[in-house]
Structure 1
Amino acid sequence: MKFTVHDTFSAMADLLERPLEERPALLTAMLAPMRASIPMPGDSVDLHHMGSGFRVDREDERYLPAVRNLIDRDVRGRIERALADAADRLRSFDGPDHLNVMFVLGDPDDDYLMDVAGGYYGMGSYGDWLYVIAWPREDVIDRIAHCAVHEFHHNVRFRNVEWNPETVTVGEHVVAEGLAEAFVREMSGPGAMDCPPATQFFPPSTHPTRRTQAPPTAFPAASPRAQRIRSTSPGSKKTTDIYKTIMLREPPRMPEPQEYTGQGDT
């Protein structure tokens, strides 16, 4: 399996050093390789802004230092290495021959990204692309590669089980997110968990994470995670056996809801 982590890091650094009026065109060019995989019409820049991406219609002195920090911390290389390890672990399952990965800087003033999604989210269940967006504050920057691994698990699993976005149930989403989190824990330990998050089921005041699924933009929404799958310490035989046992398991089908008639017990 081959991975291409596109060098959007250098592209964004170059973009942010150019005059403001040149930036929309440069951003469009940067996003162009993935555009055909986004099943919604619209201008790439508008969709980028709607999805919590950094702004190219105004100056922000925080952007360029943030991108340089990502480069200095070798986030691109960390994503590549984490995905290579993940691919080796899942080598017995059908996976993509070639997976493209795109990282995009988030907007630190976007309430959804920062207050609901915890500073980052990812999408990886569509085709041969994996997308991660983040604002790299200190509690986020080390999680970016883990988020990529979580999304990679989705990409592989959805090639091995039936997954129809038009008919998928909440139970199937819960299973998918729990398995992806179990896999992240197995690869990197419990401190790497909580990507992507689950606050649409648990409000921030009652749940240890503050992240949730991606907003409804051009990108297919990331699946919500309603709960963690807890097991034993990372790397233990029990954890591995549990993971392998349920990797391809389908959740039980629930009965169709019945129309309320107003009759019955009171």
Structure 2
Amino acid sequence: MTLKSNSTWRLGTTSYIIPDHILPNLYYLQDKVDDVELILFESGEQSSIPDASQVRLMQSLAKDSGLSYTVHLPLDLYPGARDEALRRTCTETWKRIVGLMQPVDPVGWVVHLNDPPRDEDFLPAWQEQCRKSLEELSREVEPGLLCIENLDYDHELIWPWVLEMGFSLCMDLGHLQVRGEDLPACLDRWLDHVRIIHLHALNSEGRDHTGLQHMDRDLLAWLLSSFDSKTRPLVVTLEIFSSKHFQGSLKAIQEARQ
């Protein structure tokens, strides 16, 4: 099933829908979605970081197909680390990957601010370290293209001052649901500042990153209507990781539109 958005927003999904590397996923998805989230990681001997020739192929594919990209910078980095050497490792990795991926002209870069301290006394210092890291990254990327994602902690710890610094938001609706947040209230407050939405459902066991066939149809219809109302650029990424969840999500969107 194919379902491009045909709307004011671009429909996307991840670079891991079929069990293969990033490029085969891009060729599979090029006529099915408007955008692909390139999820990049480096962990031990495992890496999804493309080389320069692969980046050129991504660039060519986007030109030929009309596909756009969002880039998810690696997850296991610590921009708020107390250890300055660890924080610098994070920013140097960010900058290296940004330099590599700039030719694909991403519509947004997704950034995680990991591991806020449980010790509230260190919270201001963690925020300051995160600010410093983001300031360094913003010398390489237009600040409005940097999209700071909500994780498994209270997004109020980051989003107010992130916006003051001129950055954008990546709103992960599944993470908000896991935390029991009020989705309508969150969208009403933050949507004007959101450049990227991560959309996925919770299954009956409360597991997230599952297909939208697990989401209440009325809720999904309301969400789609909310996205339609946004006039600024918006990518809605189905942040799921299998063909089964992908096809189920496309069908659920089609049914919710009826």
Question: Which structure features the higher share of strand residues?
Answer: 2
Give TM-score scaled by structure 2 length: 0.25
Higher helix fraction (1 or 2):
2
